[in-house]
């Protein structure tokens, strides 16, 4: 039984208390720090790998970027504002692309555009014959997929046909299923001006409660999401500030961003391509990672996605060929996108 399983056995008035939540996340953070590796050791190990691994690693990143280009084209077509978020934005600033130990892409979309994207993505996947290759997920109660006629991003399987990742998060996700690369699209919400004083204590309990009630089927998504947002102080109306919202990865610290320091969006290079970013990148990265975001952290926790992908194939040659075919297919769609 995991630490989280034990935690969930606590009474609600304890486990959804903001101070208890902060302590629990701090403990998990210290455990992860004690078992992580230094960035320098990881980069050294990566650079010592053979050329074949490096080529595969490069293909992995190229497929990720092609999927990102597809999303960018969909957003431009439908007038949807998105931007590079979290470690993806940090990687663009600090490394010009992926952080060396990172193996995913995170995007941010404000609620109004997030809802538009939920409608646009399935249309474009169908139009461009990508439904067979891509998973599209927005989890509802009991891990039910909102897109009931699409594969879920959590349907990815190994070569024996066994599912290899656990479905648990409620935000929008899109993935190329084999070889597996996944992009997370996080909704952000405006905050009512008169609710800023209480939001620091209300956010984490409301988010964590929503997250686990969706997983355990205690509540229905459509019944609870707007109630939870209203309880915290989120609004659909434009205000001076916005932040992470209920459907994100649960954490104790809410990160608040200035609307005027975000819009109008500008662009930044990521792996040689231009993508959207906030007007004031320093403001966003400082809010997320602190003022020393250009420094490497003491320890890192790699997601090991390449190792997961290897379980999908019988050989590295088969895996490399699959990467080549996927990149070629998606690149052709992007070059001819309408």
Work out the average pLDDT over 11-28. Answer: 63
Helices (H), 9-50: 12-15, 18-35, 39-48
Give the 3-state secondary structure of residue 76. helix
Measured CA to CA, the distance from residue 266 to residue 263 in angstroms comes to 8
Tell me the pLDDT tens digit for each residue of 24-75. 666 556 656 556 677 777 677 777 787 887 888 999 999 999 999 999 999 9
Measured CA to CA, the distance from residue 202 to residue 228 in angstroms comes to 10
Nearest to 211 by CA among 154, 139, 148, 163: 139
Q: Among positive and negative, which fits the CA dihedral 30, 6, 138, 158?
A: positive
Where residue 23 falls among pLDDT bands split at 50, 70, 90? low
Nearest to 242 by CA among 260, 226, 224, 230: 260
Nearest to 270 by CA among 87, 122, 132: 87
What is the model's pLDDT at position 277?
98
Range of the structural domain that residue 64 is part of: 36-335
Tell me the pLDDT tens digit for each residue of 296-305. 888 877 667 8
Structural domains in the chain (count) = 1
> How far from the centroid of its chain's Cα atoms is residue 210's Cα?
18
| Contact between 330 and 70 (Cβ < 8 Å) | yes
Give the 3-state secondary structure of residue 93. helix
Where residue 316 falls among pLDDT bands split at 50, 70, 90? very high
In a domain, 8, yes or no: no
Residue 314 has pLDDT above 90, yes or no: yes
Within 8 A by CB and 6+ apart from 283, the residues are 257, 258, 261, 262
Where residue 267 falls among pLDDT bands split at 50, 70, 90? very high
- For the whole model, what pTM was predicted? 0.90
Burial of 307 (0-12, 13-18, 19+ CB in 10 A): exposed
Residue 157 has pLDDT above 70, yes or no: yes
Q: Which two tokens stand for residue 146?
A: 């909102």
In a domain, 166, yes or no: yes
Within 8 A by CB and 6+ apart from 285, the residues are 89, 90, 93, 293
Directed axis angle between helix 111-127 and helix 51-78, to 10°?
110
Higher pLDDT, 24 or 320: 320
| Contact between 184 and 173 (Cβ < 8 Å) | yes
In a domain, 72, yes or no: yes
In a domain, 20, yes or no: no
In a domain, 10, yes or no: no
In a domain, 1, yes or no: no
Residue 5 has pLDDT above 80, yes or no: no
> How far from the centroid of its chain's Cα atoms is residue 272's Cα?
21
Q: Average model confidence (pLDDT) for the chain?
A: 90
In a domain, 252, yes or no: yes
| β-strands 181-191, 105-110 pairing | parallel
Residue 6 has pLDDT above 80, yes or no: no
SS3 of 216-284: CCCCCHHHHHHHHHHHHCEECCCCCEEEECCCCCCCCCCCEEEHHHCCCCEEEEECCEEEEECCCHHHH
What is the model's pLDDT at position 312?
97
What is the model's pLDDT at position 19?
65
What is the model's pLDDT at position 283?
98
Work out the average pLDDT over 228-232. Answer: 94
Hey, which of 9-18, 272-281, 299-308 has the most confident mean pLDDT? 272-281
In a domain, 89, yes or no: yes
């Amino acid at each position: 039984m995991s630490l989280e399983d034990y935690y969930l056995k606590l009474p609600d008035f304890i486990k959804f208390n903001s101070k208890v939540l902060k302590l629990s996340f701090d403990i998990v953070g210290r455990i992860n720090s004690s078992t992580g590796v230094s960035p320098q050791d990881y980069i050294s190990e990566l650079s010592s790998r053979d050329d074949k691994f490096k080529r595969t690693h490069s293909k992995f990143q190229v497929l990720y970027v092609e999927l990102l280009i597809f999303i960018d084209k969909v957003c431009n077509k439908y007038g949807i504002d998105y931007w590079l978020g979290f470690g993806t934005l940090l990687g663009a600033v600090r490394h010009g692309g992926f952080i060396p130990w990172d193996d995913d892409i995170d995007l941010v979309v404000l609620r109004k555009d997030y809802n538009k994207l939920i409608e646009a993505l399935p249309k474009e996947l169908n139009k461009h014959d990508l439904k067979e290759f891509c998973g599209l997920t927005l989890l509802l109660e009991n891990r039910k997929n909102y897109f009931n006629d699409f594969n879920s991003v959590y349907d990815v399987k190994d070569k024996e046909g066994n599912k290899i990742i656990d479905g648990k998060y409620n935000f929008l996700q899109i993935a190329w299923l084999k070889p597996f690369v996944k992009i997370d699209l996080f909704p952000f919400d405006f905050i009512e001006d008169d609710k800023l004083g209480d939001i620091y204590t209300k956010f984490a309990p409301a988010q964590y409660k929503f997250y686990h009630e969706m997983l355990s089927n205690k509540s229905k998504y459509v019944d609870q999401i707007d109630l939870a947002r209203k309880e915290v102080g989120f609004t659909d109306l434009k205000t001076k500030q916005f932040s992470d919202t209920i459907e994100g990865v649960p954490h104790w610290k809410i990160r608040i961003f200035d609307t005027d320091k975000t819009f109008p969006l500008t662009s930044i290079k990521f792996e040689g391509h231009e993508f959207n970013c906030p007007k004031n990148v320093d403001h966003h990265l400082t809010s997320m990672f602190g003022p020393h975001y250009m420094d490497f952290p003491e320890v890192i926790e790699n997601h090991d996605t390449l190792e997961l992908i290897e379980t999908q194939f019988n050989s590295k040659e088969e895996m490399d060929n699959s990467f080549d075919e996927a990149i070629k297919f998606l690149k052709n769609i992007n070059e001819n996108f309408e």
